[in-house]
Chain A
């Protein structure tokens, strides 16, 4: 059964690639530590020190940022980054699982995998965001999110470092929101308290 939160949303998922570090700094940096939803992130960023991106963002942001662990239970005010070389899935019981399934669209982790499983787990309680990036990862996943009644957000391609991921997403569905990166934190806050 659905867990009862205050609002209609239970989680945010984000897919980002080229330009991701700066984009995540702006997006997560715009949220307070008390942000009421958990945030799950797939970022295609090659990082040798596997924990690097999470540590960097955690220093920079008020919300807690960490690399996701297997079977970790998601909690509000925390952002979970998929570890390099693993897909990250959200289960219906609100736990994260990881897998080494083959890359999807050349990507592992893949935003499609996260979005599809999170859509299945959270239904209309999900907000999915596609940010700057090369390629088309996230588009198919965003379609699944929309089909399950979730809310879809795409960064305005004109305002993106690399526009093909947001462009491709906006071509597959009509997103609920298309807006510049700087305004997305505000939207996420508004939706979360709705």
Chain B
């Protein structure tokens, strides 16, 4: 048997072991991207074989966390895809304004940039004090960063441009204080967001939502897992509520699609029907 086939066998065993030992189930993640990342992690590690790595990872939580950091993708940015945020202001907010109070769920929020972006947008559009936002992720390390709300100052220039072309109404620097090479988000913003641990593979929803954002997360899942997660969202989204997914993701061909219509073309903002 050649080395490549052995690696594939060891990879399946490792993923199954991790699931049994730590409850992280990667079996329904798309293979190519996951395997490439594990491969790179392995090549840069000191282990001779993936089986050696497995023996250690199953016994030592720190070794597992190191693998997890190496293979999970937690990149995010503020106001990524400005046209999307512009469309939110124009097509979603007017509906949200008709409710006295709304609940919002950001699933797979990573380090929180998008949750802060949405909070800024809601405040500017007259929703201050009228919403609660839950931002969740499977990865506790990134959630802590999200709670801290401290981001590299060098990114702020790009974020400012994103903010402006996404329809921003103020000066972006009003929302953070610069200290050394960091930008610390305004505490008032942080207080509007509840960051919590939640695993989309196994956990259930937490109550009725008016708006759910889950961008660039489903893109890592195989169709079976996409379906599961979309059912979860559908289950807690109120009729007339909004579901936002990544610009390269789509509900096309998914089971819940018949109850949803895209309200901003190509922006992947879907509205659930009342029927």
Q: A-side interface residues toward B, CB under 8 Å?
A: 69-71, 83, 86-87, 89-92, 97-102, 113, 116-117, 120-121, 148
Contact = CB atoms under 8 A, between A and B. Distances in A.
Given A70-B219, A148-B4, A98 B248 contact: yes
Given A99-B33, A102-B75, A148-B4, A71 B223 contact: yes
B249 A70 contact: yes
Contacts of A113: 36
Contacts of B4: 148
B71 to A, nearest CB: 10
Nearest to B4: A148
A86 B4 CA distance: 27
Contacts, number: 54
Contacts of A69: 248, 250
A97 B35 contact: no
B130 interface: no
Given A71-B223, A116-B36, A117-B36, A100 B31 contact: no
A97 B221 CA distance: 10
A148 B4 CA distance: 9
A89 B36 contact: yes
Interface string B23-54: 00000001111011101000000000000000
Nearest to B226: A71
B32 A89 contact: yes
B216 A101 contact: no
A121 B31 CA distance: 10
5 contacts: A97-B30, A99-B33, A99-B73, A100-B75, A116-B36
A113 B39 CA distance: 12
B36 A86 contact: no
Residue among A87, A90, A92, A97 with max Cβ neighbours from chain B (10 Å) = A97
B248 A86 contact: yes
A159 B246 CA distance: 40
Given A70-B219, A71-B223, A102-B75, A97 B32 contact: yes
Given A92-B32, A100-B216, 13 more contacts: A86-B248, A87-B33, A89-B32, A91-B30, A91-B31, A97-B32, A97-B219, A98-B248, A100-B75, A101-B33, A113-B36, A117-B33, A120-B32
B220 interface: yes
A15 to B, nearest CB: 16
Interface string B222-256: 01000000000000000000000010111000000
A69 B250 CA distance: 9
Interface in B81-96: none
A102 B37 CA distance: 11
A90 B219 contact: no
A85 B207 CA distance: 34
Nearest to B35: A120
Nearest to B215: A100
A99 B250 contact: no
Residue among A86, A98, A116 with max Cβ neighbours from chain B (10 Å) = A98
A99 B30 CA distance: 10
Given A70-B249, A116-B36, A99 B31 contact: no
A101 B72 CA distance: 9
Given A98-B248, A100-B73, A101-B73, A89 B33 contact: yes
Residue among B220, B248, B249 with max Cβ neighbours from chain A (10 Å) = B248
A121 B4 CA distance: 12
Residue among B33, B35, B246 with max Cβ neighbours from chain A (10 Å) = B33
Nearest to B77: A100
Contacts of A89: 30, 32-33, 36
Interface string B51-72: 0000000000000000000000
A83 B33 contact: no
Contacts of A70: 219, 248-250
A59 B35 CA distance: 36
B75 A101 contact: yes
